[in-house]
Amino acid sequence: MSIAENANCFFHSRRDTVPCFRAGFHFMNAPELEFTEETPFQVMKRTWQPVALSRDISIGGLASYRLFDVELIIARFATGWLAAEDACPHKGARLSRGSLHDGVLQCPYHGWQFDAEGGCTNIPSLLYPPCDKLKLSHLRNYPVQERYGMVWVQMESDPSVKLPEVPEFEDPAWTFLPGPPTLFRAGFRREIENYLDMTHFAFAHATTLGKAASPLIPEMRITVLDDGFQMDAPFPALATPHEQPGKLQSAHLRRQRCHLPNFTTIRQTFADGDERVLVHIPSPNTRTECTCFWALAVSPGFDGPPTQAQMEFAVKVLDEDRVMCENQVPAEIPLNPSRGGWGVLVTPGDTLANTFQKCFRRYLHEELADGAVARTI
């Protein structure tokens, strides 16, 4: 029995139905809320978001990044990372255009100097800088950490918020590679919905991932969880493709796990037992732009294309997705149910995307403890 046939036996559902299970989670029965487009950014500032790849910034290196419409400087000191607003407190010069030497970050405009904690240590135009002026000149910095080969920033400190655990990314037996961050001129929810969708494979990826894919929706099992949801389904492979597919295009089982608000993994299990785990995190730059940070982990002894070839393949597929996302209207999926939002002109193939949108709204509702941002309809 093939892996696809095994999957069909496992799911026990008619081909045109999508069973959905809830584990410790129920969609709210409270009055529906209407959110503004500012709501996600206000809520998500407590989450960890990637801003750079560790390998791209060497010790003494500086980089700039826009997160939630705030310009940041990312500086790598010998002792660790600094993430702060990319503006000198003196005249607003971009510190990312400055320099970092001997543990001192120096502004390019007037030479003001800062340490690894963002404290101002010297104002060259003052022979004896007053302590109170130095204190007032502290940079507005943010919590920062390095994990999974990426640098992560939290815009509002909340120690209770943790990164999702992906053991394969830190298992030395697995081959782990972060991919090149990719700018999408589309909102982060567009990218998430695209990553969850399988019915576009045969069209948007006709010569790559979808070379032997069927446009028909496979049987899916969706489990809604406290922190997101999970989908288990077979890859929609054609039973008799015109061309023999490569391993990455062939029938396999997929487990897509979305950790709200925007951290999604896909585990692929092939017929021979080989596995791959991928992650996408569309880090929001503005309301209509995001940078997709992603990575790939391959199980030991993977019998298939070399890891570098797999990365090149993934880059092509991601670029095809970018083109699709950038050519959808509007640039971001509306939060409130309306034309262009969820609940209108949907098919069974949209079930997973709709699950994300509903869970995301629930996430916003729960995070808005004071109710100051949303208003009751």
How far apart CA 256 and CA 201 sit, in angstroms, is 15
Same domain, residue pair 149 and 165: no
335 and 39 in contact (C-beta within 8 Å)?
yes
Same domain, residue pair 100 and 222: no
Residue 80 lies in a domain: yes
Residue 141 lies in a domain: yes
- Total domains, the chain: 2
Residue 78 neighbours by CB distance under 10 Å: 10
Same domain, residue pair 75 and 100: yes
Helices 188-196, 307-326: axis angle to 10 degrees equals 120
Per-residue DSSP letters for 164-231?
PP-GGGG-TTSEEEEPPPEEESS-HHHHHHHHH--TTHHHHTTTTTTTTB-SSPPP-EEEEETTEEEE
- Tell me the pLDDT of the chain (377 aa) as tens digits: 444 444 334 333 333 334 555 554 444 444 556 688 899 999 999 999 999 999 999 999 999 999 999 999 999 999 999 999 999 999 999 999 999 999 999 999 999 999 999 999 999 999 999 999 999 999 999 999 999 999 999 999 999 999 999 999 999 999 999 999 999 999 999 999 999 887 776 666 767 766 656 778 778 899 999 999 999 988 766 555 555 667 666 667 989 999 999 999 999 999 999 999 999 999 999 999 999 999 999 999 999 999 999 999 899 999 999 999 999 999 999 887 665 445 467 788 889 999 999 999 999 999 986 544 443 33
For residue 143, whether the previous peptide bond is cis, meaning omega lies within 30 degrees of 0, is: no
Same domain, residue pair 18 and 165: yes
Per-residue DSSP letters for 111-164?
--EE-TTS-EEE-TT-SS--HHHHHHT---EE-EEEETTEEEEESS--TT--PP
Instruction: Tell me which of 154, 174, 194 is where a domain ends.
Output: 154
Same domain, residue pair 215 and 122: no
Same domain, residue pair 137 and 204: no
Residue 24 lies in a domain: yes
How far apart CA 167 and CA 171 sit, in angstroms, is 6
Helix (H) or strand (E) holding 365: helix 351-367
- CATH at 22: 3.90.380.10
Same domain, residue pair 217 and 302: yes
Instruction: Tell me which of 120, 154, 188 is where a domain ends.
Output: 154
Same domain, residue pair 193 and 149: no
- CATH at 67: 2.102.10.10
Domain boundaries, position 120 = 59-154
Same domain, residue pair 115 and 223: no
